[in-house]
Amino acid sequence: MDDHEIADADGQVEATSNEEERRAHHAAALMLVRQYPDPVLRIAADRVEEVDGDVKRLVERMSDVMRQAHGVGLAAPQLGILRRILVYRVAADGEIRVLINPELRERSEETESDAEGCLSLLGGDLQVPVERHLRVVVAAVDADGSEIEVDAEGLEARVIQHEIDHLDGVLIVDRAAKDDRKTALRDLRLRA
């Protein structure tokens, strides 16, 4: 539900213009996200040597684009920048987490298949079932340059695995089962 939705008549007018504004922001944000089959999405990103001003500004930009595009995660290559940086948030208004040079330290044996979308595949409109580890432990550096470790499960673990894949040039179509991949690639051929 949209938080601008208001029941009374005057509110409705406002809700409509806010909705239009929201859509415009959404469309503008998506314009900044590289779309399949852009080759940059297929190139492995480079490690970040130092969390300097450039990296911090990039993190801010990535967070803004993710928020306005209504994404749960975004990796730097999706903005055409080949650096190992990702941002994510598991709740719509939740805190944004930043992982720089993330490395998977542990993966649960248990996996789970669930539908995933990607802002770079038809702007998020394509859904593909992807099998992911239920729980992962990731070592990374945060936006202050401090070493952190994240122990994540469920949606958070899924988003982290999806975004780390982007840093390696891997997309959800590569992770899908054979038949799902065929269907997805056909949709992409027709619509991308």
Q: Rank residues 29 and 118 by Cβ distance to Zn ion and give the closer one.
A: 118
> Which among 116, 120, 123, 126 has a CA at the least distance from the CA of 158?
116
Kindly determine how many residues on this chain lie close enough to bind Zn ion according to the rule CB under 5 A: 1
Nearer residue to Zn ion within complex by CB, 118 or 173: 118
For Zn ion, give the closer residue by CB, 118 or 140.
Answer: 118
Interatomic CA distance for residues 24 and 144, integer angstroms: 32
Residues of span 105-144 touching Zn ion by CB under 5 A = 118
Active-site residue, from 20, 21, 153, 163: 163
Assess contact for 36 and 171: CB atoms under 8 A.
Answer: yes
> 163 catalytic, yes or no?
yes
CA distances from residue 156 to 72, 88, 104, 146, 153 in whole angstroms, order as listed: 9, 8, 13, 20, 6
Rounded least distance, CB 118 to Zn ion, Å = 3
**Mind telling me the catalytic residues?**
163
* Residues that bind Zn ion in the complex, under the rule CB under 5 A: 118
